[in-house]
Structure formats: C-alpha cells, structure tokens
Structure 1
Amino acid sequence: MYIWDVLWNVDEVWQITGMEFGRFLILTAGYSGILIFGALDYIRLSFIFENHNLFHLIPDNVSTLLGKTMKREENYNYIKPIVLALPFAIIFIFPFSIFAAAALIATLGDGAASVFGLRFGKIHFPKSSEKTIVGYIAGFLASFSIAITCFWAFDSGLKFIEIIMISLSGAFVFLIIDF
C-alpha cells in the first residue's frame, strides 16, 4: 500500500506522485548534506588563521566528534576534500543508484573502515601501514551493504543476482582503492 497515493490522496492535491516527492526529499537531503559539509570544511580551514578562526561557531559536541576523527595535520590540508568532491561531480550524471552508492561508499565505507580499524584492529597490513585487516573487512562489508541498499531502493529494474554482483564489484573497488 502506498501511503502517499492511496491513504493520504496527496497526489490529487499537489499533482505529484510519491516517487517524485521521494526524489525531491532525497535531493534536498543530499544538497543539505553538501551545504553542511562545505560549511564545516570552511570552518575547519579557518584553523589556519590563528587570530581569525571560526572554530567557536561549531557546537561543542560536533567539535569533539570532528577532533576525534581528524589528525592535527589534517586541519591544515584542503586537498583531500577537493579530491573527494570532484569525482562526485563527474558521477552525478549516472543513474541515481550509482551516484548514491558511490558517494555513500566513499564516505560511510571509509568511515567504517577507519572506526573499526582503529577500535578493533590489531594486525596491520601491510606491516608498515597504519591500516588493519579489521578495517579492510569492515570497509568491504559496509560498502557491500551500502551498494545493495542503494541498488535495491533506487533501481527496481535490476534482478537480485545483478544487485549482488554490482555490490560485490563496488566493495572490491573500495578494497583496491583503500589498499
């Protein structure tokens, strides 16, 4: 049962379907996330100017969270966010399921690998690296589940086996890039 069409009859009032409204909500949430990311990155880069930094504008709990996830030298680096954002602009022309999967794998998959690797990782691979086997496994599993969720939710034309194969390839690409 579709709540939008059947239960609420909003499609008759606003003359838009539930699918169109869902896309609007997804894009609004996505652009809001981009705006927040940009604002926080601007504030982070103000750390360079000791007399004019804007760190006092960030709420304490967000500042604590950001401080725990970033190394001190990362406060002065502006290349990594640009390198992360440019591919998103390129893959934005692909179907939304591919864009959503790639964007979420790049952010949440890498975050899961980092958090689980730092918290539970003991064995480093390669030995001279700070990356751990637990981090690789967590990143792979997070990337796989993110891709399955994105393709299942946004691309109804794919068969389940195709979703599994595409998700596995996305997770393996994450592993190759992370290695």
Structure 2
Amino acid sequence: MRKLATLALAIIASTASAQLQCFYKDLVAGQRQQVCFDMSKPREAQAAQDYIRSLQPRAGIFDNPITVREMLTARHLTVPAKITPFRVSESTDGLIIKGIMNGGPEEIKLSGIVIAPGQEVSVARLLGWLVPPASIVNVEATGEYSVGGQKEVFLWLGNNLINIILVERGLALPIKSKGPYEGELASAAELAKTQRLGMYAESK
C-alpha cells in the first residue's frame, strides 16, 4: 500500500477573481513542495481534486483499513498541555469509545461533530483502525457531557485530532458552536466537500 506523504492545506488568497488553494508536501532533508490551484477555474479545481486523490490511497477510508492517520488540514495545531491518557477498550456506538482513564473505566464521546448521513459503517471502520483496543490516546476534555452521560472530548492521536480527521474524510459533520476548534472543523468540512470525500463522493 502506498503511504501518503505529509500534506497540509492552506487557503492563501481569496478574491472575486481567484481563490487559491495551496498544498504542501514534505520532501527529504526538510524540503517542501508547494502546488497551488485557482479554485475559481473549473479545470484547476478538477486538477486540485485529482492531485489530492493521487496522494491519498483511494481504497481505505470507506471500504478497507485506511493507511492515513494524519490530518490534511489544521497542521498548525499543537497538543495542549492539559490532556489525560486514555487506554481504549472498544468503540461502542458511533462516536462513543470505552476505555480506562485515571485508573477507572470511562466512556467518552467525540465532541463538536456528528456522524454524516450514511457513514456509520465507515466511521466504525475508521475508529477501529485508528484506535483499536489497547491503544493509548490523549483526551482533551471539554467539561461537557453528552445526553448519555459520556464525557465530551477532543481525542488526540499523536499530533492529530481524530475529531478533525473524521470531518476531513467526509464521515462526520461539525456541529455549529463556539467551542474549541470551530474554525478548524469548518475548514475540514470544506476540504471533504471540495474533494468529494465520504458523504460527498457521489455528489456532482
């Protein structure tokens, strides 16, 4: 399986006549390759879509175990100081994960997002691959609780937020709120829509 090169997305200009999206791919010796597309032009928008699909394995997110753990957007984020290790036991229902935290059993729910229509199976596959039983992740608690009593959290896998990864892949949608990472979740949703990932795969 091909391995996706580290990829970051940044919108660097937006005017009435041009809307540039630039993609940065890490090369060797700290070098980076930059490729920009004018999204206001249909041909370049299509070229941008083809470019990102060429870097991301086609199979995986929706049908087979995926090979990409990194966020494609929000590469500027850093892991906050106040996090708590969480040992995964199982993913139970959609965005709910059971595990051990602070020495005792705990149920957490990914905050700021809901599962996109028709993507329940894909979400289960992705979470099962990203956070299998016995894996260790870090919880950033929001202080809120879901209707079912689970802690609402942002879940860090290394330097990547799983909440954002799900939205980038078109498997989840951001909830409109003024909570943490609202802007990053919106950008992730725009990427999924632009590149026709997940729930947008069949849209025209």
TM range (shorter): under 0.3
Q: Which has the higher helix share?
A: 1
State TM-score, norm by structure 1.
Answer: 0.24
State TM-score, norm by structure 2.
Answer: 0.22
Return the index of the structure with the highest Cα Rg. Answer: 1
